[in-house]
Amino acid sequence: MSAAFSANAGPTDAELAKMKLQYQRPETVPFPKDNPFSQAKVDLGHKLFFDPRLSGTSTMSCASCHNPGLSWGDGLATGVGSAANKLGRRSPTILNLAWAESLMWDGRAGSLEEQATGPIEAKVEMNQSMPRLLTTLGDIPGYRAAFQVAFPGEPISAKTIAKAIATFERTVVSGQAPFDRWIEGDEKAIDDAAKRGFVTFNTKANCSACHSGWRFTDDSFHDIGLTDGDLGKGKLVPGVEPLLHAFKTPGLRNIAGRAPYMHNGSVTTMATVVRHYSDGFVQRPSLSPEVYKLKLTENEIHDLVAFLKTLTSTDATIAVPVLPISEVN
């Protein structure tokens, strides 16, 4: 047993090794059969994602709310759309969605392709009309060429736009974090507090019941006892009690860069998140049975936060692409 755990009866080396095994990163990114990977689609999707001309007033791109500098979120409690419209929920990160089972806080979109054109046409978000966007893109020679290379023989359409954006999004994967180097065997990659936090995360604090696997999510929906009135997935699927106030478990990769937290941005720091699970949640029939009073000590809270901080990668920054220029007439 390593010195890090000797203070309290921690796991044996074998138990720790087994715990660590669940967090190994995959080596490849999955792409669906009906929209396989191609570099041309990634390049096109990259441009579209960052292009404000996708919005009705040419002022807002996907990256306005999913900003690579803010762990692909926007750092706001809830999103702000066209004409300063406040959205009802926080802008989630788009990291590691190639592996997601469903999208949006309430899971209402089944695939990245299905999701991609939603925000473009939503009045409260980018407020663009699809026919108008198709004309705009078709008038830009650089886009005409890029669509031809990515989708030979197909017209520029909502479908090809969605496929390109989705393919780009699948390549947005969080990079190696100190935690990954530790999982691979570098004992110096993270400090003892973080190592103790990892054990607490997997044992007493029960976090891994929901934040499981290398992305730290079970892709499931749970009510963790936040007090706002948003019914989450329960609004879409009536008659299923555990779905009331239930939201998709967010992955925890690069979590330190994504405050404020939760679907409504109501929790400002990682320590407050941990305190919420310790004893800050409301009891109600829909509350997940995996959420219960943890009675965490101040040291355990400190260690859990130290551990969460090791999940942040220093990714090569994704460049803001050079966008094709509109024809001057």
Partner 1 sequence: MSTRTWIVAIGLCAFVTASGAYAAAALVSQKGKIFTPDELTQGSGSTLRIDNDDTIPHNVQVTTPDGENRNMGMQKPGEFADVVLDKSGDFMVRCGIHPKMKLVIHAR
Which of 3/222 has CB closer to ligand HEC? 222
User: Which of 177, 244, 273, 306 is in the footprint of ligand HEC by CB under 6 A?
Assistant: 273
First to last CA, the chain: 73
3-class DSSP state of 280: helix
**Token pair in block for residue 276:** 């919420």
Cβ atoms of 109 and 115 within 8 Å: the answer is yes
Query: How many residues form the binding site for ligand HEC (CB under 6 A)?
Result: 54
Stretch that binds ligand HEC, among 131-139, 233-241, 254-262, 315-323 (CB under 6 A): 254-262
Which residues 6+ apart lie within 8 Å of 287 measured at CB?
A: 223, 224, 225, 281
Which residues 6+ apart lie within 8 Å of 5 measured at CB?
A: 11, 16, 195, 196, 199
Q: For residues 56 and 132, what is the distance between their CA atoms, to the nearest angstrom?
A: 9
Q: Is residue 287 at the binding interface for ligand HEC, with CB under 6 A as the rule?
A: no
Q: Which of residues 92-111 bind partner 1 (CB under 8 A)?
A: 101-102, 107
Q: Is residue 240 at the binding interface for partner 1, with CB under 8 A as the rule?
A: yes
Rg value, the chain, Cα: 21
Q: Is residue 306 at the binding interface for ligand HEC, with CB under 6 A as the rule?
A: no
User: Which of 4, 173, 237, 271 is in the footprint of partner 1 by CB under 8 A?
Assistant: 237
315 binds, among ligand HEC, partner 1, none (CB under 5 to 8 A by kind): none
Residue 125 is a catalytic residue:
yes
Q: Is residue 83 at the binding interface for partner 1, with CB under 8 A as the rule?
A: no
String of contacts with ligand HEC for each residue 164-203, x by CB under 6 A: -x---x----------------------------------
Q: Is residue 315 at the binding interface for partner 1, with CB under 8 A as the rule?
A: no
Cβ atoms of 251 and 23 within 8 Å: the answer is no
- The catalytic residues are 125
